Structure 1
Amino acid sequence: MSAAPGAARLWRSLFQVVAALAVLLALDRGADHLARRWVLADLAASAGAAAELRGAVLQAEIEKQRSLPLILAQDPDLREALAAPSPARLEALNAKLEALAQGTRTAVIYALDRTGVALAASNWRTGTSFVGSDYAFRPYFRDALREGAAEHFALGTVSNRPGLYLARRLDGRDGPVGVIVVKAEFEAVEEAWRRLPGPVLATDPRGIVTVTSVPAWHFLATRPLAGPEREAIRESLQFGNAPLGDLRLAPLAGDATLRRLPPGARPEDSPALPVTRPVPGTGWTLTLLAPVRPVLEPARLAARLGALLLGGAGLAGMALALRRRGRLRRDLARDAARRQELEEQVSLRTAELRTANARLRAEAVERQRAEATLHGLRDELAQANRLAILGQITASVAHEINQPLAAIRTFADNALKLLGRGDAATAGRAVETIAGLTGRIGTITEGLRGFARKGGGESEPVALRAAIEGALLLVGHRLRQHGVAVEVSVEGEPRLRAERVRLEQVLVNLVQNAIEALQGRADGRIRISAAAAPEGGATLRVADNGPGLAPVVRRSLFMPFTTTKSAGLGLGLVICRDIVADLGGTLEAPERPEGAEGAEFVMTFGKAL
């Protein structure tokens, strides 16, 4: 009779154990699944922003180099050297290109004649000099000679180094005289990528890797290349003798969203979550392979430990309650022993949780380091924004300089004729006019050179009126080209302690945005006003009579990658706001009064001189 109740208790206990294990297993699987989903979603968002930033840095580097061929195409010395080459001219041109390449941190600049032979190059002193090499077979030479400009990424036949070739045709009186070529290399960009977590690669439209943080991945194909296509690429010598091997990012078993990285990447970077973004203006695609293991494993471990602790504590409480109800007459000593055993289990699991928390704190320190690196990249992006603006206004400055240059030539010719006739007084007035025109050219080029300098220097007293005039000097041609009137109103002589270059960068950005908003409007008008605030600060306003800002745009106006331009990155106003904040002020776009036209941006500085 006693055997039946004992067997029933045994089966009941066995059932309770199995049920508890099933509950703990379900909690473990559920916590693991939720942690995985949350971590991957957060990683995808952060990786997307990181990919946008890396793509913007790559685009800024390319845009900086694109301005050089445009500027050099206006150089009369370069045209004369190609139209009528002589040893003296070519020697001077070699030295000029060498100094320009060093000053702009460009890999190499070289000039080709009409047949494709390099007559001068910035590397003329080195053993890999391009001088005398024939580049007529290169597509960038043929396309530039035919269409005026061309871009081509390839492996150098002499230097054996990859780069983006930017070419522009030079026209003389009787037609083309040659082509100027700037080769941009991306070793600095790749080195910066290598210091950040996660491999990065940029691919051309055919899927071939051009720029990457993993050296072993150069010139590998991310998609299969047909036999004729592969042979055509090899015959063109675009990538030299590179085998154009396959770079397959195989899906991870059990999770198609993750990829197992091929050889060449660091072991700790695999598996990875791929995020792709286009590189504007290039036709390239940038892919960031965000490492999953450093963020996923600690989160999964913490979630599973937490779930097991909570489940274990709950099940233990339930078991304790059931045992108390069924065994009220048990010895108190046995209850104390059972409680002690439970406390030991909780202590053990708590120690494991502390270990997991220590790992999480280490990850937080690593993230702080990454944020410090991103802060440095944001400063570089501000400089890249300034150089991109410089590229946009180069044509305007060239137009401003060409007019006084033509006048100087005319007055110089007249002065020579007058001196030949003996009319020294009239010739002297012509020379005085020439001096005034050269002063005007100096003012324009000094403003351009000052604007191109990188920020981060010491602050100095800056008159707001002078900063406004400097910014308008840089965008003056664009204002006249679009027929936009500018009204400047400065009350008194307010001054700030700031970096003039960075303050002018903000004004140029805001004025250029206003010009674009006023395109197509016959009565476009921009008003710039500055005044000292009663409490001791200063206020600077830039307003236009354009269409204004829609409410949905205003709400996210100063958020990264928010833009109303089809080709914009949405970083200009973010950079402006950061610059104003560094100068001790604020930048806002307040709502306009009812019935008022256009948009208005207000900079408020808390303390003026």
Structure 2
Amino acid sequence: MARLPFTKTKAVPDGAPPDGASDGSAPGPAAAATAPGVPATATSAGGGLLGGMSGMSIRSPWWLRLLIILFIALAVSVIWFTNGFLGDRFSETTRNRADVRLALYTGHILSELQRTSIVPLLLTRDPDLMNSLKTHDFSTTSQRLISAQAEIGAASILLLDDIGRTVAATDRTQIDTKHGSEQYFVNAQRSKDTVFTLSEKPTGGYQFTYSRALLSDGKLAGVIVVGAELAKFERVWAGITEVVAVTDSENRVILSTEPRWRGLPLNEALATRSVPSAFERAFRLTSDWANEPPDAYLRGEAVMRNEARIPFHGWRLTSFTSYDSIREKVNTVLALEIMGFAVLLAMIFYLLSRRARRQTAVFRRESAELRQLNIRLQREIAEREKVQKDLAVAEQTLAQSSKLAALGEMSAAVSHELNQPLAAM
């Protein structure tokens, strides 16, 4: 009887190759056998897949990382462009508004000067004033000047006699004061028309006066002096978040919301004069958001400078506007953009985290399936080993039986050979 081939197999631990795989030989029949419903690739390489799965790391693909980098670069570019574009646009808008305000301020100044310029002409035609100068009776003259001041809104009105002594005034403390050497009195004597005079006050600042001579029979009887109320504009301008200054033809500051500047050249005032805290608060600014070079610097802070010409004796009106409103508007838009990009980036990371969790769940499920397959494979191998052991025992029993049968046949043959001679005898 032919002997059956016998191959012994053993269980394969997790991650270990089957017998014969280490030297490149083909696996034995038992290793190649599979359990019912178990794929051959899973059973033969289950341990190797499981070991490789345990060392696998979940990493984002290169194109996804590149996409995130491009997204961040796009966000930075958009923010940078928005900063420049809105900075230029809001700066231009602020400059236009400042120009409009300067035009409005210029109109107010000219209106005040024109209204004041006609007052001396009207008063010189008042017969009561001329009669008081002739009769030297000024008992009611000051009251008439006060009434005229209330109607017109002039800063002050003085009536001077032919030697420059104040004989009537809206401010009664000025009566009997001498003005013979003042420029407005001298200019009025030299001209028959109304003359404008800019002069410094003894207490500081400037006074803006219109003066006109009162003539009687071709001779000087007196001079009427009317002061223009321009200082009120300083108080109005001071309530706005900008500094405004009026300079004469010599670039000397004659009106300003900053009192320290009066009497100084504008450039010198900007360079040397200290700025009070209120002014500093109005001009607080970071030049980082200014896309164009600043027009001027005040205590190291950049400001926007706007100028307008006043068609009167070469005067100029200059304003210094803060960039605070521009910075606030730009920062508001930039904050919204940054928040939007942050939300989008958070959504991207959320989707990536969900994808990673799904991949982790898939890997865990596949790992569990491979473990189950490995257990089934080990169970099948154990069963096959038991069958092979039983087969070996059966083969040994069959071999013994074959030997006994052969001995029986041999003994029968010997007996037959011995019996033939005996039978013949």
Say yes or no: TM over 0.5: yes
Deviation, structure 1 residue 39: 1.2
Select 1:141's aligned residue among 175, 179, 185.
185
Q: Distance in 1 between matches of 2:302 and 2:362?
A: 53
Alignment of 1:380-459 (within 5 A): none
CA separation of 1:216 and 1:223: change in aligned 2, threshold 3 A: closer
Note if 1:180 corresponds to 2:221. Answer: no
Alignment of 1:497-508 (within 5 A): none
Deviation, structure 1 residue 283: 3.0
Amino acid paired to 2:141: L
Aligned residue in 1 for 2:333 = 303
Aligned residue in 1 for 2:145 = 97
Select 1:61's aligned residue among 112, 116, 127.
112
Asked whether the equivalents of residues 201 and 288 of structure 1 are also in contact (C-alpha less than 8 Å), the reply is yes
Larger radius of gyration: 2
Asked whether the equivalents of residues 164 and 185 of structure 2 are also in contact (C-alpha less than 8 Å), the reply is yes
Select 2:80's aligned residue among 29, 43, 49.
29
Note if 1:113 corresponds to 2:179. Answer: no
SS in 1 for 2:309: strand
Deviation, structure 1 residue 305: 2.3
Alignment of 1:498-537 (within 5 A): none
Asked whether the equivalents of residues 121 and 131 of structure 1 are also in contact (C-alpha less than 8 Å), the reply is no
Note if 1:283 corresponds to 2:328. Answer: no
Deviation, structure 1 residue 40: 0.9
Cα deviation code 1:442-477 (max 9, x no counterpart): xxxxxxxxxxxxxxxxxxxxxxxxxxxxxxxxxxxx
Q: Distance in 2 between matches of 1:333 and 1:110?
A: 101
Cα deviation code 1:98-132 (max 9, x no counterpart): 332344332321123344333332222x2xx1523
Q: Distance in 2 between matches of 1:296 and 1:251?
A: 11
SS in 2 for 1:119: strand
Aligned residue in 2 for 1:518 = none
Q: Distance in 2 between matches of 1:58 and 1:49?
A: 14
Aligned residue in 2 for 1:199 = 243
Aligned residue in 1 for 2:200 = 155
Unaligned runs of 5+ in 1: 226-243, 264-269, 335-609
Alignment of 1:235-314 (within 5 A): 255-262=292-299, 271-293=302-324, 295-312=325-342
Select 1:72's aligned residue among 107, 123, 139.
123
Amino acid paired to 1:291: S
CA separation of 1:277 and 1:175: change in aligned 2, threshold 3 A: same
Cα deviation code 1:542-563 (max 9, x no counterpart): xxxxxxxxxxxxxxxxxxxxxx
Amino acid paired to 1:173: D
Q: Distance in 2 between matches of 1:162 and 1:192?
A: 17
Aligned residue-pair number: 298
Cα deviation code 1:212-234 (max 9, x no counterpart): 22333322321359xxxxxxxxx
Aligned residue in 2 for 1:234 = none
* Larger RCO (CA within 8 A; separation ≥ 6): 2
Asked whether the equivalents of residues 112 and 229 of structure 2 are also in contact (C-alpha less than 8 Å), the reply is no
Note if 1:47 corresponds to 2:47. Answer: no
Cα deviation code 1:387-425 (max 9, x no counterpart): xxxxxxxxxxxxxxxxxxxxxxxxxxxxxxxxxxxxxxx
SS in 2 for 1:120: strand
Aligned residue in 1 for 2:359 = 330
Cα deviation code 1:554-581 (max 9, x no counterpart): xxxxxxxxxxxxxxxxxxxxxxxxxxxx
RMSD value, Cα: 4.1
Q: Distance in 2 between matches of 1:102 and 1:327?
A: 85
Q: Distance in 2 between matches of 1:205 and 1:247?
A: 24
Asked whether the equivalents of residues 277 and 287 of structure 1 are also in contact (C-alpha less than 8 Å), the reply is yes
Cα deviation code 1:225-272 (max 9, x no counterpart): 9xxxxxxxxxxxxxxxxxx97699999586423544359xxxxxx654
CA separation of 1:133 and 1:85: change in aligned 2, threshold 3 A: farther
Deviation, structure 1 residue 95: 3.2
Aligned residue in 2 for 1:220 = 264
Deviation, structure 1 residue 176: 3.0
Deviation, structure 1 residue 321: 7.8
Deviation, structure 1 residue 181: 0.7
Amino acid paired to 1:75: D
CA separation of 1:135 and 1:18: change in aligned 2, threshold 3 A: farther
Deviation, structure 1 residue 331: 4.7
CA separation of 1:112 and 1:245: change in aligned 2, threshold 3 A: farther
Asked whether the equivalents of residues 258 and 273 of structure 1 are also in contact (C-alpha less than 8 Å), the reply is yes
Asked whether the equivalents of residues 221 and 246 of structure 1 are also in contact (C-alpha less than 8 Å), the reply is no
Amino acid paired to 1:281: F
Deviation, structure 1 residue 304: 1.4
CA separation of 1:107 and 1:331: change in aligned 2, threshold 3 A: same
Amino acid paired to 2:215: D
Asked whether the equivalents of residues 200 and 212 of structure 1 are also in contact (C-alpha less than 8 Å), the reply is yes
Asked whether the equivalents of residues 274 and 299 of structure 2 are also in contact (C-alpha less than 8 Å), the reply is yes
Q: Distance in 2 between matches of 1:188 and 1:9?
A: 71
Asked whether the equivalents of residues 260 and 273 of structure 2 are also in contact (C-alpha less than 8 Å), the reply is no
Deviation, structure 1 residue 192: 2.0
Q: Distance in 2 between matches of 1:272 and 1:333?
A: 63
Q: Distance in 2 between matches of 1:182 and 1:12?
A: 83
Q: Distance in 2 between matches of 1:73 and 1:292?
A: 50
Deviation, structure 1 residue 290: 2.6
Amino acid paired to 2:198: F
Aligned residue in 1 for 2:212 = 168
Asked whether the equivalents of residues 158 and 170 of structure 2 are also in contact (C-alpha less than 8 Å), the reply is yes
Cα deviation code 1:37-86 (max 9, x no counterpart): 1211111122222222222222222222222111012122323444x352
Amino acid paired to 2:330: R
Deviation, structure 1 residue 6: 7.7
Q: Distance in 2 between matches of 1:18 and 1:165?
A: 71
Asked whether the equivalents of residues 24 and 312 of structure 1 are also in contact (C-alpha less than 8 Å), the reply is no
CA separation of 1:43 and 1:166: change in aligned 2, threshold 3 A: same
SS in 2 for 1:223: helix
Q: Distance in 1 between matches of 2:185 and 2:311?
A: 24
SS in 2 for 1:151: strand
Amino acid paired to 2:243: P
Aligned residue in 1 for 2:22 = none
Amino acid paired to 1:90: F
Asked whether the equivalents of residues 257 and 273 of structure 1 are also in contact (C-alpha less than 8 Å), the reply is yes
Identical counterparts, % of pairs:
18
Unaligned runs of 5+ in 2: 1-51, 276-282, 364-425
Q: Distance in 1 between matches of 2:196 and 2:220?
A: 18
